[in-house]
Structure 1
Amino acid sequence: MTEIRLATVLLGASPFKEGNINETYRGQVLVDGGEVRQAVIKDLHLVELCNELLAFCLAKHVGIPIPDAFIGLVRPGILSVTKAPELPDGSRLVFVSTNVKVPNLTFRLTGADTIGRMTLLAEVAKWANLGKLYAFDTWIANVDRHCGNLLFGNSGDAWIIDHGHGFSGPAWSEGDLDPAKDFKSRLEDWMTPMLSAAQRGSRKQEATAMEASISGFDATEVSKISRIVDLLPPEKVKVVKAFIEGRVARITPGASKALGLPVIV
């Protein structure tokens, strides 16, 4: 599994708005080894920060393309953030992801005519990881997979982003994390209608294959490498671990429902 590393946010980051709700910046970060990266920096409350970190590690585990992620250290005077967890020395912890410089799907759809939009969504429908995405969003109870949360370039150069609304939402409490609960996938609204019957069947098979590949998943390691054990109270860590493990068996039924196919439990 891929471990979350620390990155130090450098002076000079600038804010931007592209449909993002939280304060978001483009800037540079220094990662271990002295490498400077172009990054997207997000000012998030603690639970939403942990959602992002955990979702990154899980996506890497199942092989879905996702930009490299870090815990970003913002030292006093470097960047004005207000939601990010604060350390005793006044530094803050933000979510950092590498800027892969691929446009999100909303941006590309907005700039296209009707034929162009249909053509673009048809490309997404053929994306090799689409079945896994249906499975992944079911697994982590991601309730916010809109078009802006998928970066999609030419020839299917695609990346998933923005998982603060995973695990039922950005401010979940222990009572929200019931593994047996049914969480709606927004893919059902904008992606599923673009799929043919054959494509829906294939995407379901891919989701089922992903479920089989993580059968018996133990969330102990991912809770450590994502750093949530260092950030969340023990009782929250215990509940989210049980949620991740319990959701594996919900992948095929949840993906089937999102695909508009019969659900067999």
Structure 2
Amino acid sequence: MADINDTHRVGLAQVLGGAVAFKAGNINDTYRGVIRTDTGDRPAIIKDLAPRELANEVLAAGLGLSAGLPIPPAYLAFASTDRLSTKYGPELEGGRLVFASVDVGQPQVAMLCRERGNVAVLGRLAAWAEAGRLYGFDALVANIDRHAGNLLFSGDQEVWMIDDGHCFTGPEWGHSDLMPPDIRVTNRLTEWLTPVLADRQRQLAAHRAAELAGDVGLDFAALATANYLAELLDDGDFMAVVTFLQGRQPHTAGLAAEALGMLA
């Protein structure tokens, strides 16, 4: 895994005026707008999330970016009340914190499937070289909601992983939900991606998932701190999720293999 640096962690940003709400299968209040970052203004998808789900998004993005996964650049952003009316995120003087990720301009896999048919789209996605690392990542972070709307796909080779608010067993996890660390959770990839993978693709994906599990040798407490989790969670919750990741890492390859149907 890469060292923690500004390229491989969640940044800070401000939401500019003019964001517009939209619906594309999303449950949360979501907007298209522009954020101001330390490298300039960027088009972004902005999500107004309750604190626990916001923390999930931030930590998952930081972990994925550090692992070199295709996750759009992500930001913990401040939305002042005069620029965007929000109601769920942690409240600061004059506004609230929201999650923002750069708008990469690609459609959801689910949308492509509706337009072009499952066979054509999922057949191409099955050939994606990073599919195994996706399985490994979702196993590590206990993502319970990787449906076909939570991947963006150009229809060729460009794939982006989005919407990780339902990691760590869900958006409202408590300490008991994170025990034991190897707890089995629903992996929705088994519903729609695993069935279209050929045997050789599953074998390769299991190998790549194991590689990812071996790559994440970073200090999870340091990673969480670098991605502002200490500001978003209290001490007890911070240590609970760090301990969960530390304990789950050795089981990641096996959990991913199960989702790939390799241990049935």
Q: Does 1:53 align with 2:58?
A: yes
Residue of structure 2 equivalent to 1:166: 167
Contact 1:6–1:70 (Cα < 8 Å) also in 2: yes
Residue of structure 1 equivalent to 2:216: 214
Matches within 5 A, 1:63-212: 63-87=68-92, 89-113=93-117, 117-178=118-179, 179-212=181-214
Q: Does 1:17 align with 2:19?
A: no
Q: 2:208 & 2:126 partners in 1: Cα distance?
A: 13
Q: What are the superposed Cα offsets for residues 54-108 of structure 1, whole Å, 9 maximum, x if unpaired?
A: 0011111222100000111111221111111101x23100000000001110111
Aligned residue type for 2:81: P
Aligned residue type for 1:22: N
Contact 1:184–1:258 (Cα < 8 Å) also in 2: no
Contact 1:135–1:252 (Cα < 8 Å) also in 2: yes
Contact 2:9–2:65 (Cα < 8 Å) also in 1: no
Q: 1:196 & 1:249 partners in 2: Cα distance?
A: 26
Question: What is the deviation of 1:111?
Answer: 0.9
Question: What is the deviation of 1:240?
Answer: 0.4
Aligned residue type for 1:186: R
Count of matched residue positions in the alignment of Structure 1 and Structure 2: 257
Identity over the aligned pairs, expressed in percent?
Answer: 39
Aligned residue type for 1:10: L
**Does the residue aligned with 2:124 lie in a helix, a strand or coil?**
helix
Contact 2:61–2:71 (Cα < 8 Å) also in 1: yes
Q: 1:139 & 1:3 partners in 2: Cα distance?
A: 18
Q: 1:53 & 1:105 partners in 2: Cα distance?
A: 23
- Give the TM-score normalised by the residue count of structure 1: 0.94
- Give the TM-score normalised by the residue count of structure 2: 0.94
Aligned residue type for 2:18: G
Q: 2:220 & 2:120 partners in 1: Cα distance?
A: 39
Structure 1 residue ranges without an equivalent (≥5): none
Q: 2:168 & 2:53 partners in 1: Cα distance?
A: 9
**Does the residue aligned with 1:95 lie in a helix, a strand or coil?**
strand
Q: In the alignment, which of 28, 32, 37 is matched to residue 26 of structure 1? A: 32
Contact 1:43–1:95 (Cα < 8 Å) also in 2: yes
Contact 2:112–2:155 (Cα < 8 Å) also in 1: no
Question: What is the deviation of 1:211?
Answer: 1.5
Contact 1:131–1:207 (Cα < 8 Å) also in 2: yes
Aligned residue type for 2:61: F
Q: How large is the Cα RMSD of the aligned pairs?
A: 1.2
